[in-house]
Amino acid sequence: MAKVRILPDRVANQIAAGEVIERPAAVVKELVENALDAGATRIEVEFRHGGRALMRIEDNGHGMARDDALLALERHATSKIAEAADLDRLASYGFRGEALPSIASVSRFELQTRAAESDAGTEILVNGGKFVHVRDCGRPVGTRIEVSHLFNSVPARRKFLKTDQTEAAHIVHCVRLYALACPRTAFTLIEDGRVIFRSPECSTLAERVAEIFGKQIAESLVPIEVAEPGLKLSGLIGRPGVGRATRHEMIVFVNGRPVDSRTLNYALIESYHESLPKGRYPLAFVFFECDPAAVDVNVHPAKREVRFRSEPQVRGFVIRAVLGRLRELSGSAVAGAEAVQIPETGNRQPESSNAVTAAPAPSRLPVPPPIHRADLATLRAPVPVATASPVSAVRSPGSTMPAWRFVGLAHGNYALFETAAGVVLLDRRAAHERVWFERLVEQFRAGAVPSQRLLLPLPVELDAIASALLLDRLKFLHAHGLEVAEFGRNFFRIEAVPAWMEPGDAEPFLRDLLGAFRDGTIPDRDTGLAREELARLAVAKAVRLPAAGGEAEIRALVAQLFATSTPLTSPQGRPTYIELNHGELARRFQR
């Protein structure tokens, strides 16, 4: 029978590192937090190969004396708190005293630090949890930490790291969060010798957003500051109608700490239900402040998540604050929309086709031109829906079908046909998307994408991550009709667009495209799949239906739909049409 034993400190530190240090970005996060807690007004972060080879964080904080530096490498040694009651009045980012010993136990860790009252600095080198040396060194006041060969003592953990590009993106995102949280601290971020961004001290949050995300995004934001007893919300939010395809630019801070809070995120999304269409996310850089005793930041080992004592109270306050500010901006337009009551849960269906007019104008694909084909009787037959009776057998794709008799349009989007088996409802938008999807995929595959050069190039300013993503994919975009040229640091010009895109819609389409690259929706290594995802994004954003479709246009659309390889579904997997046979109709009418 195995005996109970106390684990050696080295093993305990490595186990703790598995909880605190998940990836290189976690190392950067912990060390940047320590620098901010030390009162630094200048922080420089450098990393190589996604943080695997090197991470260096240097600051001008108050530094440490030799005894404090040695003690900081012991487990649960911290200057932030002294007793459990201090957790209810936290004023610092770190408080557990686990970060430094955890990092030092799984890497080659070099610490150089000097306090103002010390004549010489202290250098400590730890390799895989073992002290190599402790000696004096010369350096200015502050701290410099180098972490290299991460997880060298636990090689199994290295296998779980993602590609250098993915790990680098997490590091850049982490540093950017703390740069936003502390605009009065100067930040410099260097990747593989290249400066990603350098932001000096900023007096306001708007200046820091402009430095990191670009002036175009900063100009689309408006300030918000609302307070109730014990609660305060401040920062910048997007104007009505300004949205994104991803949540990357919806950032929240709780008592100055960047967090991922479902309560605050969903409150922001719900606040914009009158101002953005479903599936779009708002721009937001907001700071939520409350009594430290009313929020628990000790829920997650990495302190990414928080738990509020009263979730409904926080959610209601944020919705009231943001919705009130949006209504001030929208004026009578939003006030008129208040008459339409939208439930908080369930599927929200627009009352009419005008329900999505709050969205920014998407790129528009013209209706596919008519193709002269034989009568619909020669077209391939549809597959009956699951509600069809057993008598209505599933037809093979190559079989013929009776002609569909066009009856009319319902709500401008659904075409109704009478068939020998019953009735068919065709979704015009889904059908157009399928036709254009296969047309664009074929153009991309053949390398024959028609484009139009712009007389006046369109300027686009991006944040550092989006700029890096775009620079790595300029050749891919150019091959697919979208020509973008670099025009300065984080500044680009759109010089040509695909023939199917309206020039004014190029910028929002490019931003959504970069969001798909960042999410991994469009893969880097599989060109064929990347082309399909690009075409899928294009048709989802760009199909435009005429106000009213005549019989000739509908018949031509059906002919083109059944000429595609997959006529039954749209590129997003939605059905292009449904069939209700006589048995289903009789059941509905209780015959």
Average pLDDT over residues 38-43: 94
Q: Give the mean pLDDT of the chain.
A: 80
The enclosing domain of 277 has a CATH number of: 3.30.230.10
**pLDDT > 80? residue 354:** no
Specify whether 22 is located in the same domain as 62.
yes
**pLDDT > 60? residue 359:** no
Q: Which long-range contacts (CB under 8 A, 24 or more apart) does 219-222 make?
A: 220/283, 221/283, 221/285, 222/325, 222/329
State residue 327 phi and psi, 5-degree precision.
-70, -35
Distance between first and last Cα of the chain = 74
- Top mean pLDDT of 1-5, 109-113, 167-171, 510-514 is at 109-113
Specify the DSSP class assigned to residue 343: -
Ordered alpha helix ranges (H), 272-342: 311-330, 332-337
- Rounded CA-CA distance 431/231 in Å is 50
**pLDDT > 50? residue 386:** no
Specify whether 433 is located in the same domain as 564.
yes
Closest-CA residue to 398 (of 380, 375, 376, 378)? 380
**pLDDT > 80? residue 19:** no
In a domain, 208, yes or no: no
**pLDDT > 50? residue 358:** no
Cα→Cα distances 437→526, 562, 578, Å: 18, 13, 20
Average pLDDT over residues 458-463: 86
Average pLDDT over residues 430-436: 88
Q: How is residue 24 written in tokens?
A: 């290189």
At 82, the pLDDT band (50, 70, 90 cuts) reads low
Which pLDDT value is given to residue 546?
64
Average pLDDT over residues 527-551: 76
- Write out the residue range of the structural domain in which residue 270 sits: 220-338
In a domain, 497, yes or no: yes
Per-residue pLDDT of 303-335, as tens digits, reads 678 889 899 999 999 999 999 999 888 763 434
Which pLDDT value is given to residue 122?
95
Specify whether 233 is located in the same domain as 137.
no
Specify whether 18 is located in the same domain as 142.
yes
At 471, the pLDDT band (50, 70, 90 cuts) reads confident
Domain's final residue, options 150, 170, 200 = 200
In a domain, 548, yes or no: yes
In a domain, 121, yes or no: yes
pTM surpassing 0.85?
A: no
- Helix, strand, or coil here: 244? strand
**pLDDT > 70? residue 342:** no
Average pLDDT over residues 401-420: 80
Q: How is residue 162 written in tokens?
A: 């993602």
The enclosing domain of 437 has a CATH number of: 3.30.1540.20
Specify whether 443 is located in the same domain as 549.
yes
Average pLDDT over residues 156-180: 85
Number of H helices, E strands in the chain: 18, 24
At 533, the pLDDT band (50, 70, 90 cuts) reads confident
The count of domains in the chain is 3
Per-residue pLDDT of 435-447, as tens digits, reads 888 888 888 888 8
Q: How is residue 436 written in tokens?
A: 């254009």
Average pLDDT over residues 270-280: 85
- Rounded CA-CA distance 589/128 in Å is 75
Which pLDDT value is given to residue 134?
94
Q: Are 16 and 75 in contact (CB under 8 A)?
A: yes
Q: How is residue 585 written in tokens?
A: 């109709």
Which pLDDT value is given to residue 171?
92
Q: How is residue 72 written in tokens?
A: 């900081």
Rg value, the chain, Cα: 29
Average pLDDT over residues 564-579: 87
The enclosing domain of 69 has a CATH number of: 3.30.565.10
Specify whether 181 is located in the same domain as 92.
yes
Domain's final residue, options 141, 171, 200 = 200
Specify whether 23 is located in the same domain as 135.
yes
Which element (helix H / strand E) includes 510?
Answer: helix 506-519
